[in-house]
Amino acid sequence: MKPSQEFRLTGIDSLEDVERALGTIHGHREYGLAVAAVNLNKRRGSLRDTAYLQALLTWSRLNPEAALNVVGGSEQNASEILGEACGYSVGIAAMSMSGLVKVRGEPVVRQIALQGAKSRIEAAYQGDYASLVRGRTIDLLSVSGASRQYLKPLFNGPSPRTVKDKFDLKSTIRGLAMRAAPSSTNLDESTLSSLATFTHELFENTQDHAIADEHGQVYRRHIELLNVGWIASSEEDAKVDFFGNESLRAYWDALSAGQPGREKVSGFSFNFLDSGPGMAARLLGKPLFQMTDEEEANALRQCLNMHVTSKSTHATGLGLNAVLAAIAQAAGFIRIRSGRQAIFKCFLPGSSGELQNLDFDNWFGPHRQLPRVAGTLVSVFIPLPRPNV
């Protein structure tokens, strides 16, 4: 580690920017990271926000003793800088996961750095959605070791074994969606039920598999996040996020056909992020650098197949199957960024809604090599028409 040296990440506004930032992070893994508080508090859209946070988590996992140096404008004092950084879960999670927190180069006790997050953490714990929503985005952040780790909207008690069941989580998903876009067309009941089942299984899995590395060594710190946002994307947005793959381009064209105005595609984005070892590493019990790309891709597909079943029981395994069916019916997509993989499955409008196969495509095209990331980010998009206001 080179404690006296640091690098900066700037200009991150798209998924493509996040991938470039990951390359920078891996190239400077021995260095501290300087980031502006305004960038930690910035809303880029729920999918981009969670991808950006995953990049910051990757840096903290690569160098767990390194310092996160939070900087601000010349007119801001240290308290104002930290207050701005604590205004959103991205900044709270980044400061919680870093080895050390600094403000303008000066070390700060973590508890003091996070004082500005207390009201937001309490609101998440109590399910006070009105205090959490910012614009069209709302999220629930769980930080290990915090007195408010097991949030009431997600857990029935202060224990990893008390993840709410799908029936109780349905009201959580509905509440988050309505806060993200209260005047929008409501999600149908079957989609809400499917997302609730999926949420239950993802959070139940993180309690077992995202709190320790691939060798079973428990992490000193970890986070889980559920981020929901209403997205209205223009063609300009799509060119940097959706056009890396022919299937995605065709999907965008199909959704945007006949939609008037600049913002062609709209709907809800549901994003689930953990800071664990990633799906393939978790399954095979070894780090990614010991795997070939093909071995990792096969392991990731195996993980997905393990969570698909046609059984109509309450057993674990129904989540992905249910949400894929709902996504197909709604002409949506699911995206997974884990390890060195960014894969997705989308469904064109007018399809039968039946699952033909479980083949996932590469988000950035079949030949691009991606930097590895920490944890797993699962994103679900459900297109809906823009509300009449």
CB 369 within 8 A of CB 340: yes
Helix (H, G, I), strand (E, B) or coil at 215: coil
Mean pLDDT, range 187-201, rounded to an integer: 93
Each residue's pLDDT tens digit, 176-188: 999 998 777 678 9
pLDDT at 316 over 50: no
Instruction: Give the mean model confidence (pLDDT) for residues 251-257.
Output: 88
Find out whether 223 and 141 touch, Cβ atoms under 8 Å: yes
Return the pLDDT at 388: 59
Site of tokens 């598999």: 209
Q: What is the pLDDT of residue 53?
A: 98
DSSP β-bridge partners for residue 270: 228, 380
Average pLDDT value for the chain? 89
d(CA 154, CA 204): 10
Q: Is the pLDDT of residue 4 over 90?
A: no
Please determine, for residue 312, whether its predicted confidence score (pLDDT) is greater than 70.
Answer: no
Q: Is the pLDDT of residue 2 over 60?
A: no
A 10 A CB-CB count for 77 gives: 11
Q: Among candidates 355, 347, 350, which has minimal Cα distance to 381?
A: 347
Q: What's the pLDDT band for 164 if we cut at 50, 70, 90?
A: very high
Helix axis angle for 78-85 and 89-97, nearest 10°, is 110
pLDDT digits (tens, 9 = 90+) for 294-311: 999 999 988 887 665 433
Prediction pTM value: 0.94
**Which helix H or strand E contains 94, and what residues bound it?**
helix 89-97
DSSP-derived secondary structure for 295-322:
HHHHHHHHHHHHT-----SSSTTHHHHH
Express each pLDDT in 351-362 by its tens digit: 755 565 668 999
pLDDT in tens, 26-45: 999 999 999 999 999 999 99
Percent of the chain with pLDDT over 70: 91
Question: What is the full DSSP assignment across 167-207?
Answer: HHHHHHHHHHHHHHSTTSPPPPHHHHHHHHHHHHHHHHHHH
Tell whether the torsion through CA atoms of 227, 16, 324 and 318 is positive or negative.
Answer: negative
**Dihedral (C-alpha) 187, 189, 193, 194: value to the nearest 10 degrees?**
-60
Q: What is the pLDDT of residue 317?
A: 53
The Cα–Cα gap between 27 and 302 comes to: 31
Q: How far apart are CA 304 and CA 302, in angstroms?
A: 5
**Is residue 50 within 8 Å of residue 225, measured between CB atoms?**
yes
pLDDT at 102 over 80: yes
Give the three-state DSSP class for 146: coil
Asked if residues 374 and 55 have their Cβ atoms less than 8 Å apart, the reply is no
Any bridge partners for residue 69, and if so which? 34, 102
Which phi and psi angles does 238 have, rounded to 5°?
-65, -35
Residue 270: partners with Cβ closer than 8 Å, 6 or more residues away: 46, 173, 195, 226, 227, 228, 379, 380, 381, 382
